[in-house]
Amino acid sequence: MGSLKKKLTKLMQCTGMKTGDLVIMAAVLLLAIYVLVLTLSVRYVGRSIDPLPQATAAVPEDKGAADPAQSAELTAETETAEEETTEATEEPVVSGDPVVEKVLADMTLEEKIYQLFIVSPEELVDNAVPCVTESGNMTKAALQSKPVGGIIYFAQNLQSRQQTTDMITNAQYYATDSHGIGLWIAVDEEGGKVARVADTLGTTAYSPMATYGKQGDTAQVREIGADIASDIAEYGFNLDFAPVADVNLNSGNELGDRIFSDDPAVVSEMTAAMVEGMQQSGKVSATLKHFPGLGAEGGNTHYDKTARIDRTKEQLEAEEFTAFKGGIEAGADFVMVGHQIMSCAGDDLPSDLSAVAVNEWLRGDLGFQGIVVTDSQSMNTISGTYSAGEAAKKSILAGVDIVLIPKDLDDAYQAVYDAVKGGEIPESRIDESLRRILSAKAKHGLIG
């Protein structure tokens, strides 16, 4: 000890260090040794113990590690419990678009339900005039009290280019100004014999779609789709109820040469091309119709009280579903569901009132996630059997997003409203459709 003390004294004399400096050096040295020992200990422990997987239940302290079978059982039980907890606390699915969610949160139930209807301009104003050709004070007042999702115009409403543009522009302004949500402005512009704008306003006319189906030129059909969209967008239309995606399986069907072909593969290719052309500018949404297919029909849904088609599910999958799949995969924004009763659905309901047709087949089998719209519910196959309210309610319950031209808008609205207030239709079901509708409208710049 004396020798160590002498050496330290000599070191201090040689280096000029003081006692305090020596104490500091000793403290630093001890700290370095402590950190080194701690680091080595942690590394050793880390190599010796595997971390527990997050999903695995912790082993009780008073027992040893469980054998593999017990561990697997504990893990399965834990995962099941977590799934049950997730299901119990799961929140409604949201669109992911904060603008849409904000608009939806601010809407009243009345506003939500009206968005589920596209109506004629005459029905909007309670048929106060036999033919609407301008959007004036009646239209303005109607849109303030009944903020419908859209208006469909027919040939009778279109008189001239300027008149059509003014009528649509004013209606769009009234809707956005009063409730902040613009309108679907719809038209049937297929080309061929169903071409409201071409027939009345002189835009480019085209041959029946069967002509192009025979030619098999998808590039030409894609160009036709783009040209039709450009023509109608000029006047303010943003929704076209075209193309026809039915397959010509029965020469007695009501569609005739509006159908591309009797070959499902050709129909699939042609409708896909038409959808791509029509939607490429982002100004007009295309609509595949008339799911699950009217091509095998022998009657007429406009006039007959019922339209029944006897088809097996396998036949539908091989032909009608194949045809619709092309347009769906091409990204069609809308699919229109018709009024035909399909025997294989097993519910004896028109397809637009059938959860089998809408949810199981269109949403499930074909994976369509866009907007589902009914065919006009003023047609006799619906209005001749069901009240407007009953048809609208059944359609919404079946999974439809938009009811087109109910026979009586007030009756249809009230039935859906009462069903929501009475708990028959959950408001979450309405919100599900609204998210699809508002998301599509946002892309069209219709959320103001």
Active site residue ranges = 302, 375
Closest alpha carbon to 181 in 283, 112, 97: 112
Give the CA distances from residue 233 to residues 150, 189, 275, 396, in Å, rounded to whole numbers and listed in that order. 15, 11, 15, 29
Q: How far apart are CA 129 and CA 334, in angstroms?
A: 30
Question: Which strand (E) or helix (H) includes residue 265?
Answer: helix 264-279
Amino acid at 74: L
Q: How far apart are CA 93 and CA 72, in angstroms?
A: 32
Q: How far apart are CA 316 and CA 334, in angstroms?
A: 20
Question: Which strand (E) or helix (H) includes residue 262?
Answer: none
Q: How far apart are CA 401 and CA 115, in angstroms?
A: 9
Burial of 19 (0-12, 13-18, 19+ CB in 10 A): exposed
Closest alpha carbon to 292 in 239, 370, 345: 345
Q: Which residues pair with 287 in a beta bridge?
A: 334
Quick one: DSSP state of residue 67? P
- Using alpha carbons only, what angle is made at residue 190 by residues 113 and 332, rounded to the nearest 5 degrees? 55
Give the CA distances from residue 319 to residues 217, 291, 344, in Å, rounded to whole numbers and listed in that order. 21, 12, 14
Amino acid at 440: A
Question: How many residues appear in the chain?
Answer: 448
Q: How far apart are CA 382 and CA 352, in angstroms?
A: 10
- Using alpha carbons only, what angle is made at residue 327 by residues 190 and 244, rounded to the nearest 5 degrees? 30
* DSSP conformation letters of 379-410: SHHHHTTS-HHHHHHHHHHHT-SBEES-S-HH
Instruction: For residue 231, give the 3-state DSSP assignment.
Output: helix
- Please give the structure tokens belonging to residue 267: 């129909």
Q: Is the peptide bond before 121 cis (omega within 30 degrees of 0)?
A: no
Bridging pattern class, strands 403-404 and 341-342: unpaired
The alpha carbon dihedral of 353, 354, 355, 360 has a sign of negative
**C-beta of residue 435 within 8 angstroms of C-beta of residue 369:** no
